[in-house]
């Protein structure tokens, strides 16, 4: 029997790194399969799931703008947004190959491959049990996909933002540089901002803080962790209002 979940509607943020092998770029269907298996298990719990894709496995707009000659920053950011659509298409077909119904919505109009993002239409798809993949960021340059995820969560009134990463959660310092870095089980939005912790970008944190949407940062590569996060199990790090932080966190 499927485990019940405390969250009815979830916004899952997956970075571009989730679409390729560690240290590589491009697309790896084996890596995408790791995501697909876990997403399918979540949908079997009856959770309404929207997914925001990053595109760093193909191109990061900001970084590309910094190193390229002759390409303006807005153009580089649009190129990065198009990379997220490529990832969204791959994820859509992979999910539908295992009988998970999906819709791909893009913030940049491209009717041949994706629906436009319309909030009411997105709501209806979610209510019907379809996984909605939200691609192309916000459709405007100079905005990260983290912020697109936070804004999307506010628009669709998600109960939580799950940030799937390849690390176990939020640390006090980079654990690769300091083996004594502390892994937080819970931390407030304010502390994330004051300590300049690299959870999500500052704008994304502010949006979640304003709407009091919890963020769960966790390692999706451990089998079943997405379903555990949806079920409210204490994995990774939860970012919450200060008033909700438990005394033993």
Q: Which residues are documented as binding site for ATP?
A: 13-16, 56, 60, 165, 171, 174
Q: Within 10 Å of residue 127's Cβ, how many Cβ atoms?
A: 10
Question: In whole angstroms, what is the distance from residue 4 CA to residue 38 CA?
Answer: 15
Question: In whole angstroms, what is the distance from residue 158 CA to residue 172 CA?
Answer: 27
Instruction: Kindly give the pairing relationship between strand 215-219 and strand 237-240.
Output: antiparallel
Mark the binding-site residues, compressed into ranges: 13-16, 55-56, 60, 138-145, 165, 171, 174
Mark the binding-site residues for UMP, compressed into ranges: 55, 138-145
Task: Say if residue 73 is exposed, middle or buried (CB neighbours under 10 Å; 0-12, 13-18, 19+).
Answer: middle
Query: For residue 96, which of 130, 121, 146 has the smallest C-alpha distance?
Result: 130
* Helix locations, the chain, DSSP H: 29-43, 61-67, 73-96, 119-127, 145-156, 189-194, 202-211, 225-230
Question: In whole angstroms, what is the distance from residue 113 CA to residue 208 CA?
Answer: 30
């Amino acid at each position: 029997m499927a485990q019940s979940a405390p969250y009815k509607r979830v916004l899952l943020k997956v970075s571009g790194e989730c679409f390729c092998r560690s240290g590589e770029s491009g697309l790896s269907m084996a890596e995408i399969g790791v995501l697909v298996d876990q997403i399918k298990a979540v949908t079997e719990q009856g959770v309404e799931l929207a997914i925001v894709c990053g595109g760093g496995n193909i191109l990061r707009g900001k970084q590309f703008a910094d190193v390229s000659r002759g390409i303006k920053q807005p153009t580089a950011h649009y190129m990065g947004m198009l990379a997220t659509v490529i990832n969204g298409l791959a994820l859509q077909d992979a999910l539908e190959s295992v009988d998970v119904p999906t819709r791909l919505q893009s913030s940049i109009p491209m009717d041949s491959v994706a629906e436009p993002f319309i909030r009411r239409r997105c709501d209806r798809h979610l209510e019907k049990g379809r996984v909605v993949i939200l691609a192309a960021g916000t459709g405007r340059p100079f905005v990260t996909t983290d912020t697109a995820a936070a804004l999307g969560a506010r628009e669709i009134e998600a109960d939580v933002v799950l940030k799937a990463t390849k690390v176990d959660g939020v640390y006090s310092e980079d654990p690769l540089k300091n083996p004594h870095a502390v892994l937080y089980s819970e931390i407030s939005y304010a502390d994330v901002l004051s300590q300049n912790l690299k959870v999500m970008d500052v704008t994304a944190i502010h949006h979640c803080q304003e709407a009091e949407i919890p963020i769960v940062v966790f390692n999706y590569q451990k089998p079943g962790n997405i379903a555990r996060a949806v079920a409210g199990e204490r994995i990774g790090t939860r970012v919450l209002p200060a008033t909700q932080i438990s005394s033993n966190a």
